[in-house]
Amino acid sequence: MSFVEYSEVIQDSDVAIIYLGHNSVMPVKVQHGAQTQTRYGVIRHSSDLIGQRYGSKVTCSKGGWVYVLHPTPELWTVSLPHRTQILYTTDIATITMMLDLKPGSVVCESGTGSGSLSHAILRTIAPTGHLHTVEFHQQRAEKAAEEFREHRVSHLVTVRNQDVCKDGFGVMGVADAIFLDIPSPWEAVGHAKAALKKHGGRLCSFSPCIEQVQKTAEALTDHGFEEINTLEVLLRVHDVRTVSLPLPDFGPDCSAHPEPDAMEAPPPAPSQTSINIKTTTPPRELPGHTGYLTFATKPRT
């Protein structure tokens, strides 16, 4: 198991994802002799997990069952322990494509936060790329580094505990892409420019407030970035359901001339009272605003 490569069978010290039901997933550190409590009962790692195929159904002690899934960054995003507000897959997917990320890309990121985006980046840039991630909070930086180790991706990432606005990313002229998710991204633009390759690269800044976006865009222009554009992506989920629509009753058929052979025909069957249709309904609440994504290109210098 690793977050950048699939495997078939669950092994000791893997991180697996337990699927409990719709929208309910939890990560589990697989260990000989360990047990995990779920609402369906206890899962015994040695007998229920180790040696089983990923994707299997596991019956818990109370008799209920769950599925064990191979971890992916997307599953991690919805199951990881939050230390900060995180980025969700919708934004992550947009960022990945708009920054032209692919195997071999070198990326600088700040702040690491809870590592949601970090894992997605690592998956995309493996096996030949590298992620330099900067987090100014010491415990969070340490926790992130620990998780990267457990997820078998630490060879692809360097975590630095420093303030990106003061000290930059710790590298110069190596990055293909920069990602900023900090309160004052305009203060880091200069460092971002220095970290990017001489040949140019892409940059993305994520900010919840439009005022932050304006300031960042101005800083980007001042530093010679081009193709500055800001966008927002929202995900709408459709609930598939069967809906029963009643048919109106206009009263019995009142035609004046009965047919001569009407006596032979059987009386008409009672008409349908409703029609079932399969359709989708939008969710009750509109999707929430996460943040604005500002992209830019650093030209060759």
Partner 1 sequence: MADNGDDEDHYRIKEGDYVVLKRGDIYKSVQILPKKKVIFEKQWIFLDNVVGCLYGNTFEIRSGGGLQLQNTKTTESPPDSKVAGTDNRNIIDDGKSQKLTKDDIEKLKDQGLKGQEIIQQLIENSATFSNKTEYAQDKYIKKKKKKYENTVTVLRPTCRILAMMYHGREPGKICHLRYDTLAQMLTLANIHANSKVLVFETCAGLVLGSIMERMGGHGTVVQMFPGGGPVRAGVESFGFPAHFYETLHEFPICHLNALEAGILDTFAKAPDAGEKESNMTAEEEDVLPGADPQGDSPEEQRMETVSADDKVQDQKKQEEEKRREAKAQEKKVKQEEKQRKLAAAAARLDGRNADGLVIASRFHPCPVLLRLLRFLSPSRPFVVYSQYLEPLIECYTKLKEQGGAVSLKLTDTWLRHYQDIVPAERPEFSRNSPPTRGRDCCRGVAPPPLKSSFISDVVLRLFHVLNPLYKNKIFTKNP
Q: What is the closest distance, in whole angstroms, from the C-beta atom of residue 204 to partner 1 in the complex?
A: 12
Structure tokens at 200: 């140019």
Instruction: Tell whether 115 is in a known binding site.
Output: yes
Q: Which span (118-126, 177-185, 251-259, 264-272) binds partner 1, by CB under 8 A?
A: 118-126
Nearer to partner 1, 240 or 254 (CB): 240
Nearer to partner 1, 96 or 133 (CB): 96
Instruction: Tell whether 135 is in a known binding site.
Output: yes
Residue with tokens 């997307």: 74
Q: Which span (42-50, 210-218, 246-254, 256-264) binds partner 1, by CB under 8 A?
A: 210-218
Identify the residue among 238, 243, 247, 274 touching partner 1 (CB under 8 A).
Answer: 238
Q: What is the closest distance, in whole angstroms, from the C-beta atom of residue 97 to partner 1 in the complex?
A: 4
Residue with tokens 């589990």: 28
Structure tokens at 193: 């420019």
Structure tokens at 74: 């997307």
Query: Cα separations (Å) of 217 from 33, 35, 230, 237, 290?
Result: 54, 51, 9, 31, 18
Q: Left (φ > 0), alpha (ψ -120 to 50) or beta: where does 173 sit?
A: left
Which amino acid is present at 301? T
Nearer to partner 1, 137 or 174 (CB): 174
Q: How far apart, in whole angstroms, are the C-alpha atoms of residue 132 and residue 66?
A: 36
Quick check: 88 binds partner 1 (CB under 8 A)?
A: no
CA-based radius of gyration for the chain: 27
Quick check: 98 binds partner 1 (CB under 8 A)?
A: yes
Nearer to partner 1, 19 or 169 (CB): 19
**Which residues lie closer than 8 Å to 214 by C-beta, 6 or more apart?**
none
Candidates 176, 177, 131; CA nearest to 151 is 131
Quick check: 93 binds partner 1 (CB under 8 A)?
A: yes
Q: What is the closest distance, in whole angstroms, from the C-beta atom of residue 42 to partner 1 in the complex?
A: 16
Residues 149-178 within binding reach of partner 1 (CB under 8 A): 172-174
Nearer to partner 1, 5 or 142 (CB): 5
What angle in degrees, to the nearest 10, is found between the helix axes of 89-98 and 116-125? 40
Pairing of strands 106-110, 130-134: parallel
Identify the residue among 144, 217, 290, 291 touching partner 1 (CB under 8 A).
Answer: 217
Q: Which span (158-166, 248-256, 262-270, 274-282) binds partner 1, by CB under 8 A?
A: 274-282
Identify the residue among 218, 243, 247, 273 touching partner 1 (CB under 8 A).
Answer: 218
Quick check: 301 binds partner 1 (CB under 8 A)?
A: no
Detail the residues annotated as belonging to a binding site.
114-117, 135, 181
